[in-house]
Structure 1
């Protein structure tokens, strides 16, 4: 398999399949990249450690902070304690949550994803208010506000005429 074909295969696999969790799999959240395909993660137990990205994901899929991954622990590692098994996208997170296998410590992030997913589905059919022409009630409100502003401006002009004060910064004294 050529490199381009392999990259396309991995990208399609990550984007299209739902992942089934095994017993030893741990869901973790990526905290930061350490370089050389090492990432610091926070797992569902609250432990923070470094995991490695396998060669099949390198240069094919990119990780961002706060993204969720499935980690498979490795026994022989001192510093690197696991390997990334699968990268979870939003659909996979919602799927695992529906199965009831989503960790409670990451529930807040999953709720944000569900709200965003619902908003995205609802907004596809709707038009933003900014794109619609103004309604008649809005025009009436605008006219009444303009009238109020006009009366306020007239009051200000009369007040200015009543108070003629001397300004020392002016070249001439005020004339009456």
Structure 2
């Protein structure tokens, strides 16, 4: 089987052949990549351990920090205590929540950045052609937020203060 055919079958399996997590499977959140196809994960109870990515997913699918995956325990593992069985995408999470199997500790609304939590900062007032004011809410909930970068810091411009000092002289 060529690499392209293998990739096609793996992607089809992940996206289309979805089943609910079993008894011995756990939904966990990925905290980061530890190298060598090992990912640090956290359970709903707060336990941290390493989970391995199976060979069939390597170079076909990628996992980033903040993603949710389903793992099965590895009994003989010392450091690596789980193996990733399935990567959960938005439609999978929605289906799990509709069946009330989603852990309440992984509430997605707590992971939204501060700018989206405070909609009053996003309201803008504009005047239409008749001079009436109206407010519009800019809904930023659908915008992708890159969690791999620190938030930008806005520095104030100090040139205005310097020019006011010169005017007084």
TM class by smaller structure: 0.5 to 0.7
Corresponding position: 1:137 with 2:137: no
Rounded Cα–Cα distance in structure 2 between residues aligned with 1:12 and 1:30: 22
Q: How far apart are 1:111 and its partner, in Å? A: 9.0
Equivalent pair of 1:39/1:50 in contact (CA under 8 Å):
yes
Rounded Cα–Cα distance in structure 1 between residues aligned with 2:30 and 2:17: 21
| Pairs aligned (count) | 124
Shift of residue 92, structure 1, vs aligned partner: 0.4
- Tell me if structure 2 keeps the 8 A contact 1:29–1:41: yes
Secondary structure (helix, strand or coil) at the match of 1:64 reads coil
* Pairing 1:27–2:39 present: no
Q: What is aligned with 1:6?
A: 6
Q: Is the 8 A contact 1:70 1:86 kept in 2?
A: yes
**TM-score, L = length of structure 2:** 0.65
- How far has the Cα of 1:27 moved from its partner? 0.4
The unaligned stretches of length 5 or more in structure 2 are: 113-126, 134-166
Map of 2:37 onto structure 1? 37
What SS does structure 1 have at the residue aligned with 2:87? Answer: strand
- CA distance in 1 between counterparts of 2:26 and 2:82 reads 9
Q: CA deviation at 1:109?
A: 4.6
Residue 66 of structure 1 aligns with which residue? 66
Distance of aligned partners of 1:25 and 1:109 in 2 relative to their CA distance in 1, 3 Å threshold: farther
How far did residue 104 of structure 1 move? 1.1
- Where do 4+ consecutive residues of structure 1 move more than 4 Å? 109-112
Distance 1:111 1:18 in 2: 25
TM-score norm. by structure 1 comes to 0.63
Which structure's residues are more often strand, by fraction? 2
Q: Which secondary structure state, in structure 1, belongs to the residue aligned with residue 107 of structure 2?
A: helix
Could you tell me which residue of structure 2 aligns to residue 90 of structure 1?
90
Structure showing greater Rg: 1
- Alpha-carbon spacing, 1:76–1:15, altered in 2? closer, same or farther (3 Å): same
- Is the partner of 2:7 in helix, strand or coil? helix
What runs of 5+ residues in structure 1 fail to find an aligned partner?
113-133, 142-166, 170-176
* Cα deviation, residue 64, structure 1: 0.8
Partner of 2:161: none
Distance across 1 between alignment mates of 2:60 and 2:67: 16
Q: Distance in 2 between matches of 1:84 and 1:28?
A: 10
